[in-house]
């Protein structure tokens, strides 16, 4: 049996995979099992921040791998401590909890918010307002936080304690806050799985103001947009707000699993020993890789991300095959006149990998994709969209 058939036979049927087996890569080029080359504009869903087998990241990971691969959280470990320090220095936040995925990072944020509500506002102040069309993960609690009914069907009862407001409608948020005992508002500044839609600045300002006046925590889910992808280190920085908690995962690991919950002043000391934990959380190999990734997201790289974003937007907006481009930085949603599935399949046949978000073609290239490869891939996307 070939790999596709073995996978179909033995791997749980939760994924609709593209008909492609990837075996290796270098930077923004990946190769399938017949040595066909593709330019990768998906980076494993915004995970391979510096592409495949990036030399510096690989060296950092391998160096740690041959020292000690895991310690458990019963002991101190240098990469974990240094990564937490760097995250706080770079963001002005105060403390970090490490886990293994975006969903887990959000679970921790939800725990922190519930504890905050209980402590500062009183018993029962545990409700969190999230937005319609959001995506916060696949565990039963982060599914409940996700404001999309399609994800909820079949898995009820979900964790209670979430109410949903329309994105960009501050009055709807105010109404929910007035009607429920709330402790926090949680949002993605760019809704990724929801169709790559950036929230409006006025709405975010309104959320920040409401959070101040109603003593609510602002929780930014930076799992996809974070770590340089927006053109700033974290997406919320584009809006000039300071969340009380932000969560991230995907790109910070550079390809290894890591979840990060970053706590600001108001919740820095919310946890005591025993209140949260993770066996693999803060794994030294993942943290050593993440330290390398974070250290390279500097002003020069961010400038390049913004420049490449401008280039993509300008090129695509001139195409008669493309209706609109949404998003921020190198997280873009492309609405084509042709169905997204057709465009994605034909891009693949022409050597370019892109993915989907709702009915859009989603672009998540490596932050350091070489200009030449980016230009070639965008040219192919335009040709396919105009067919
Ligand atoms: C991917 C994603 C998650 C879930 O991350 P996992 O690592 O798959 O658990 C949560 N929030 C956002 C915004 C995401 O894009």
Q: How far is the CA of 106 from the centre of ligand 1 (A)?
A: 9
Please indicate whether residue 284, judged by its CB atom, sits closer than 6 Å to ligand 1: no
Please indicate whether residue 221, judged by its CB atom, sits closer than 6 Å to ligand 1: yes
All residue ranges of the chain with pLDDT < 70 are none
Report which of 165, 260, 143 is spatially closest to residue 216, judged by C-alpha positions. 165
Q: Whose CA is nearest to atom 11 of ligand 1?
A: 136
* Best of 101, 105, 224, 254 for a ligand 1 pocket test (most atoms within 8 Å of beta carbon): 224
Which pair of tokens denotes residue 315?
A: 């090129």
Query: What was the pLDDT predicted at 195?
Result: 96
Query: What was the pLDDT predicted at 224?
Result: 98
Rg (the chain; Cα; Å)? 21
Torsion of CA 329, 335, 339, 341, to 10 degrees: 10
Question: What ranges make up the beta strands (E) of 172-307?
Answer: 182-187, 190-191, 197-198, 217-221, 245-248, 259-263
Query: What was the pLDDT predicted at 31?
Result: 98
Q: How far is the CA of 224 from the centre of ligand 1 (A)?
A: 7
Q: Residue 196 in contact with residue 229, Cβ under 8 Å?
A: no
Closest ligand 1 atom to residue 101 Cα is 7
Closest ligand 1 atom to residue 45 Cα is 1
CA atoms 159, 165, 171, 175: torsion sign: negative
Query: What was the pLDDT predicted at 24?
Result: 98
- Is this model's pTM higher than 0.95 or not? yes
Q: What is the DSSP letter of 289?
A: H
Q: Residue 309 in contact with residue 332, Cβ under 8 Å?
A: yes
**Residues contacting 328, CB < 8 A, separation 6+:** 189, 190, 198, 225, 229, 230, 231, 235, 238, 309
Biggest alpha carbon–alpha carbon distance for the chain: 62
Give the C-alpha separation, 134 to 109, whole Å: 16
Please indicate whether residue 377, judged by its CB atom, sits closer than 6 Å to ligand 1: no
Q: How far is the CA of 135 from the centre of ligand 1 (A)?
A: 7
Please indicate whether residue 197, judged by its CB atom, sits closer than 6 Å to ligand 1: no
Q: How far is the CA of 57 from the centre of ligand 1 (A)?
A: 22
Please indicate whether residue 107, judged by its CB atom, sits closer than 6 Å to ligand 1: no
Query: What was the pLDDT predicted at 268?
Result: 98
Give the C-alpha separation, 90 to 55, whole Å: 24
Query: What was the pLDDT predicted at 49?
Result: 98
Report the run of H or E that residue 299 belongs to, with start and end. Answer: helix 299-317
* Best of 107, 130, 189, 223 for a ligand 1 pocket test (most atoms within 8 Å of beta carbon): 223
Query: What was the pLDDT predicted at 131?
Result: 98
Please indicate whether residue 137, judged by its CB atom, sits closer than 6 Å to ligand 1: yes
Give the C-alpha separation, 357 to 70, whole Å: 35
Q: How far is the CA of 35 from the centre of ligand 1 (A)?
A: 31
How deeply is 205 buried, as exposed, middle or buried, from its count of CB atoms within 10 A (0-12, 13-18, 19+)?
Answer: middle
Q: Residue 270 in contact with residue 263, Cβ under 8 Å?
A: yes
Give the C-alpha separation, 43 to 254, whole Å: 10
Query: What was the pLDDT predicted at 289?
Result: 98
Beta partners for residue 352, in sequence order: 39
Task: Tell me the helix, strand and coil percentages in the chain, rounded to 5.
Answer: 40, 20, 40
Please indicate whether residue 382, judged by its CB atom, sits closer than 6 Å to ligand 1: no
Q: Whose CA is nearest to atom 6 of ligand 1?
A: 102
Report which of 219, 223, 220, 285 is spatially closest to residue 252, judged by C-alpha positions. 223
* Best of 43, 236, 250 for a ligand 1 pocket test (most atoms within 8 Å of beta carbon): 250
Please indicate whether residue 249, judged by its CB atom, sits closer than 6 Å to ligand 1: yes
Q: How far is the CA of 253 from the centre of ligand 1 (A)?
A: 13
Q: How far is the CA of 141 from the centre of ligand 1 (A)?
A: 13
Query: What was the pLDDT predicted at 21?
Result: 97
């Amino acid at each position: 049996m070939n790999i596709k058939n073995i996978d179909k036979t033995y791997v749980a049927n939760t994924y609709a995979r593209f008909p492609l087996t990837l075996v290796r890569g270098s930077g923004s080029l990946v190769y399938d099992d017949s040595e066909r080359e593709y330019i990768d504009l998906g980076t494993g869903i915004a995970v391979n921040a510096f592409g495949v087998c990036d030399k510096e990241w690989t060296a950092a990971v391998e160096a740690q791998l041959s020292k000690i691969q895991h310690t458990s959280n019963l002991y101190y470990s240098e990469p974990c401590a240094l990564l937490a320090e760097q995250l706080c220095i770079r963001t002005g936040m105060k403390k970090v909890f490490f886990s293994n995925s975006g969903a887990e990072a959000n679970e921790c944020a939800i725990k922190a918010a519930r504890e905050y509500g209980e402590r500062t506002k009183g018993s029962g102040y545990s409700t969190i307002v999230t937005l319609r069309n959001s995506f916060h993960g696949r565990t039963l609690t982060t599914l409940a936080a996700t404001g999309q009914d399609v994800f909820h069907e079949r898995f009820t009862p979900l964790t209670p304690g979430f109410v949903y407001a329309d994105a960009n409608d501050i009055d709807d948020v105010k109404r929910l806050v007035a009607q429920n005992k709330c402790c926090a508002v949680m949002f993605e500044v760019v809704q990724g799985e929801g169709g790559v839609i950036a929230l409006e600045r006025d709405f975010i300002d309104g959320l920040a103001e409401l959070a101040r006046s109603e003593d609510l925590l602002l929780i930014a889910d930076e799992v996809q947009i974070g770590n340089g992808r927006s053109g700033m280190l974290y997406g919320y920085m584009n809006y000039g707000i300071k969340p009380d908690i932000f969560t991230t995962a995907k790109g910070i690991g550079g390809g290894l699993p890591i979840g990060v919950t970053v706590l600001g002043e108001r919740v820095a000391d919310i946890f005591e020993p025993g209140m949260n934990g993770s066996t693999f959380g803060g794994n030294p190999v993942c943290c050593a890789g993440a330290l390398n990734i974070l250290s390279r997201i500097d002003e020069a790289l961010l400038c390049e991300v913004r420049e490449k974003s401008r280039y993509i937007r300008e090129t695509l907006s001139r195409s008669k095959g493309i209706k609109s481009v949404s998003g921020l930085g190198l997280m873009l949603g492309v609405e084509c006149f042709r169905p997204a599935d057709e465009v994605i399949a034909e891009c693949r046949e022409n050597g370019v990998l892109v993915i989907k978000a709702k009915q859009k073609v989603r672009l998540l290239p490596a932050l350091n994709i070489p200009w030449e490869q980016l230009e070639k891939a965008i040219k192919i996307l335009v040709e396919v969209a105009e067919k």
